[in-house]
Structure 1
């Protein structure tokens, strides 16, 4: 558990944040630019000496009224937007720089483990200028991990990458999610990245904590701006059943409901996240008898709320304990006489696997 209560004043900006973050998995720090995400990371890293309050890291006191550990005394790994590798050192020597900071008796992760985890075996002899952006970030993450941190801080690690490099590094970040036993704090402006990687979310606004909770719940809370954005979505936890002969894959989610997606090379038995945009979910009162939409799931309407677009409404739907969002027109809502607690069918036009 990461327990903190920070107060920091810097000119016209005030950070006033308190939370208890889970001691494992990935916690996303999300919000508009200038809301305090990077400042919060700097407070945890000990880089903001004027911050008041306390920080307890996995039961250890890093800061309170009597104690303030300097940055070099805090067991953190810090990954910035740019890799910040030493340009004159090979990948191997960049990685070993992190390893040398930790006595052998205190190492919790070894060089070979990091190389395997991040797919760096073929890169260890190269110099940083011989790497792609995604490869450089993988090396930067590896160097941070080899300091054996109690927490890994990642400040928009994908922001400086192009689409190809992001696609390259994302599977390795997902492996961190599944295989690391240390908490990760991830700053991101991308709801798609957060939906794919995070378990928990802190939503910041103007230096304050607006809301926090498990990611899947936060995405579909209609009292928060996430559910009303253009890319509003829900995430279903599912498992791959099989790959079909017509280049589709079949998933099963909560309640035994099955989904078909146009996706190849997923492994049967693999646990996945299915991200479904609100704009890709239509609603019907009866299952269609002839339709090009492959996925039709029985749901119950939990609530209907206004949408930023005056001609639309947002529906929150229950699928056996998991939530979906659907953005439809007001005209459709009135034509179907939709109301909370009604049973209906969600027609899902598009699914992205995380």
Structure 2
């Protein structure tokens, strides 16, 4: 990752409750999630990058220096867009006029996102003549994201954009965010405390606690670690990139192939042979056997090798990291079970995977 294609942030600032102190080199493309509990410093870091919060240090975005020891680019000069939890649409303007408010101020030669593109990406064509008060929460947030994109930013900051939405609205907007993930060439910093959102959207993850970075790296590698604090919680699990290799219409299943094996998952209308998918496999849905047993209800069996056994924060439980082919998995089991199976690093075992969720 070269400096000209990365986000470099070495920032420090002091508060009454904690000190923000980060040193990061992040990808200059894709979605990077800033993840952690409330109060860990995620939003503060985002505000420092935006210039809304004063911080000492250095900041550059894809080769352009925004801040160093000699100068600090003011907020209005930073080529970024910020999507907040609340949409703050202009209530007296239609959706169309909300979208064009910033778009018209960008010279045509500098527009990196065209009006029609943003409308198509966020599914807004049938909403253009409506007033904000006539929109659902999910629709308002889609308008806010499109409005941000139409300012042609070099960096898009999103501060928990789904936290104010109900479950239905979240499910409505997530496919549009996934579409942006596939089509947008603008780097995104996405703040969230939701493990499921991070698993569904992110390419890279930064885990924060107490104003500091406790783990950081590509999503798949970072989630599969046992030495970061959030791996040992209820949503511990891994993300597996796969491709649909076969559809079994009779049983309403499809086979998802990945480096090292395949998994049967529920068929869905959007799926087709050859389609890349992202799978989420939670540690609580993975068990371990010493040999494959086909006389059972669990259909997904994988040959694997034990890499690591870590003590869980929950008394009496362990988290086991395993590898099948080139793909890592996590399994949560009782420490008694790990002892009875005499699990040790390097040992060959069989993974039994009960539930697989397609998240993208």
2:3 alignment partner in structure 1 = none
Q: Indicate if the aligned counterparts of 1:220 and 1:226 stay in contact, CA closer than 8 A.
A: no
CA apart distance, 1:8: 1.1
Q: Deviations over 1:185-219 (max 9, x none)?
A: 00001001001100111111111122211111111
Which whole-Å deviations, capped at 9, do the CAs of 1:73-124 have from their partners, x for residues lacking one?
A: 0110110111111111111111101202311111011000111111111111
Structure 1 portions without partners, runs of 5+: none
Decide which moves more: 272-281 or 333-342: 333-342
Structure 1 counterpart of 2:119, from 115, 122, 129 = 115
1:208 aligns with 2:212: yes
> Is the partner of 2:302 in helix, strand or coil?
strand
Q: Aligned match of 1:314 in 312, 319, 322?
A: 319
Runs of 4+ in 1 over 3 A off after TM superposition: none
Match of 1:247 among 230, 249, 252: 252
Q: Return the match for 2:287 from 279, 282, 285.
A: 282
Equivalent in the alignment of 2:25: 20
Report the counterpart of residue 225 of structure 2 in structure 1. Answer: 221
When structure 1 is superposed on structure 2, of 5-14 and 133-142 the one drifting more is 5-14
Q: 1:40 aligns with which of 26, 39, 45?
A: 45
Residue among 305, 308, 328 paired with 1:323: 328
Structure 1 partner of 2:83: 79
Shift of 1:331: 2.4
The residue aligned with 1:7 is 12
How do 1:160-239 and structure 2 match up within 5 A?
160-239=164-243
Specify the SS of the correspondent of 1:98.
helix
> d(CA) in 2 for partners of 1:66 and 1:304?
48
Deviations, residues 274-321 of structure 1 (Å, cap 9, x unaligned):
101101001111111311111001110001111122221111010112
Q: What is the CA-CA distance between 1:175 and the residue it aligns to?
A: 1.1
Q: Does 1:137 align with 2:149?
A: no
Paired with 1:63 and 1:331, the residues of 2 have a C-alpha distance of 53
CA positional deviation for 1:261: 0.8
Alignment of 1:97-112 (within 5 A): 97-112=101-116
The alpha carbon displacement at 1:58 in A equals 1.2
The 5 A counterparts of 1:55-94 are 55-94=59-98
Q: CA deviation at 1:340?
A: 1.2
Cα pair 1:77 1:145 within 8 Å, conserved? yes
Structure 1 CA distance for aligned equivalents of residues 357 and 329 of structure 2: 14
Aligned mates of 2:131, 2:281 — CA distance in 1: 40
Higher mean alpha-carbon deviation, 189-198 vs 93-102, is at 93-102
Tell me, what secondary structure is at the counterpart of 2:22?
A: strand
Paired residues in the alignment total 352
What CA RMSD, in Å, does the superposition of the two structures yield over aligned residues?
Answer: 1.1
Point out the more displaced range, 11-20 or 153-162: 11-20
Distance in 1 of aligned mates of 2:55 and 2:340? 56
In 2, Cα distance between equivalents of 1:251 and 1:16: 41
Do structure 1's residue 347 and structure 2's residue 356 form an aligned pair? no
Unaligned runs of 5+ in 2: 1-5
Counterpart Cα distance in 1 of 2:254 and 2:9: 43
Structure 1 residue 305 and structure 2 residue 310: aligned?
Answer: yes
C-alpha distance in 1, partners of 2:254/2:90? Answer: 43
Match of 1:279, SS?
helix
Alignment check: 8 A CA contact 1:195 1:235 kept: yes
Secondary structure of 1:29's aligned partner: strand
Output the TM-score relative to the length of structure 2: 0.95
